Amino acid sequence: MPCHQSSRPLASLYLAVFVAVLGFSLIAPFFPHYVMDLGASYFMLGVIVSIYGAAQLLTQIPVGRLSDRTGRKKIMLFGLATFSVLPLLYIYANSAYFLLFIRALGGIGASAVWPIAMALIVDQADAGSRGSAMGLYNASFFSALAFGPLLGGMLYDHFGINAPFYLWAILGIASFLMVLFFVFEPKTTKVQVGMTALRTDEALIAPGYRMTFLACSSVVLWSGIVGGFNFTMLPGFASSLGFRATDVGIIYLVYGGSTALFNIYFGRQADRGNRKVLIVVGCLAGAVSFAFLSLATALLTVSILFAGLGMGLGMAGPAAAALIADTTNVSRRGEVYGIFNTARMAGVVIGPLIAGSTADLHGVLGAVYVFTILAIAITVGTFIVREPKRY
């Protein structure tokens, strides 16, 4: 099958993505408690979480353009190097305000990793296997997001707060070395770098597909909003139900595992067509899962709902990413996926801010209600998606 052909040379990149995400996801189960122990309110917590995304919003598109001109690998290495330094800064942070600097640095580093990784994947995947390739990328991301919080929660419960940070630093170094020695610049990028000028005079988005681009970007926006909610509010929501940090890790395990598995399956389905259906139904599944979250009280029920949320993201994500590739300028993919990931990070910015401010005013359940409304609005917006003719 095409997906196997395209995935073999990308195995090292998928593994590096897995290791990198595993590292920074270790702190998810206890991060809000860590921040609030330094004197932050819920709103301040939201600002600290969202500044990571704000830094990415400002830097992803310029970094993506730079990668189109100078090559992708060395930029990605810079980003991964920051992942090795950040955890040590967290260990020695002594105020909530210093976390603003740390999170901003992390956002800049992430700008040099995620859109570049996506561009590297699409550079090497043929048109008939892009859904599968992006599904495997998302599976690498979310499978690490599944295991990282569980491992981090266990380390926190048994060895203290510094243990997850030290392991994060080690994993950051490991992902850097993987890319350094086993990931190579694709031929398409090398050709572009050798050109005297990139074809920036060509339209970034194919005529007639701007609304489709916006709708697909809203899908990844929703993914970022969910991530912002999880990082900001999930530990507090779980604590209100009597769950421990390890229990939060279990919820992440179910959520991330579901997202990873369904990305693989629905990534292949996206290559067979009906991408609009996958996008609409996936977003709808996420909205329904969030709507019932306010009624859940047991760990099993919460886990099932987060599995449904992960399924929705797994359905919609690869289809949206593949549509983006099919309807945009080939020679400007670094810029394209910079914009695409900027939409995701917009969700990471507004998600924590909405969650934090709503929780201060109306409690954690108030935040759940607001996020349900956002999910419904995004689902309605996906009906404008238009699929191009099959290749």
Say yes or no to pLDDT of 191 above 60: no
Say yes or no to pLDDT of 246 above 90: no
Is residue 325 assigned to a domain?
Answer: yes
Which has the higher per-residue pLDDT, 216 or 126?
Answer: 216
- Which of 24-33, 211-220, 292-301, 350-359 has the least mean pLDDT? 350-359
For the residues 1-9, what does the mean pLDDT come to? 45
Over residues 259-317, the pLDDT tens digits come to: 888 888 888 888 887 888 999 999 999 899 988 988 888 999 999 999 999 999 889 98
Q: What is the pTM of this model?
A: 0.68
Q: What is the mean pLDDT of the chain?
A: 81
Over residues 120-154, the pLDDT tens digits come to: 887 777 766 767 877 788 788 878 877 888 898 88
Torsions phi, psi for 72 (to 5 deg): -100, -35
Domain harbouring 315, CATH code: 1.20.1250.20
How many domains is the chain built from? 1
Residue spans of alpha helices (H) in the chain: 2-7, 11-25, 31-37, 42-70, 73-91, 96-111, 114-124, 130-159, 162-182, 187-194, 210-240, 245-271, 275-293, 299-326, 333-381
Is residue 375 assigned to a domain?
Answer: yes
Q: How confident is the model at residue 257 (pLDDT cuts 50, 70, 90)?
A: confident
Residue 307 is predicted with a pLDDT of 93
Say yes or no to pLDDT of 96 above 80: yes
Is residue 363 assigned to a domain?
Answer: yes
Is residue 3 assigned to a domain?
Answer: no
Residue 1 is predicted with a pLDDT of 38
Q: Are 331 and 64 contacting, i.e. CB atoms less than 8 angstroms apart? A: no
Is residue 8 assigned to a domain?
Answer: no
Q: Are 257 and 146 contacting, i.e. CB atoms less than 8 angstroms apart? A: yes
Residue 201 is predicted with a pLDDT of 53
% pLDDT > 90, the chain:
15
Is residue 369 assigned to a domain?
Answer: yes
Over residues 146-177, the pLDDT tens digits come to: 788 889 888 988 898 899 999 999 988 998 99
Is residue 5 assigned to a domain?
Answer: no
For the residues 241-260, what does the mean pLDDT come to? 85
Domain span holding position 110 = 13-384
Separation of alpha carbons 36 and 269, rounded Å: 43
Is residue 155 assigned to a domain?
Answer: yes
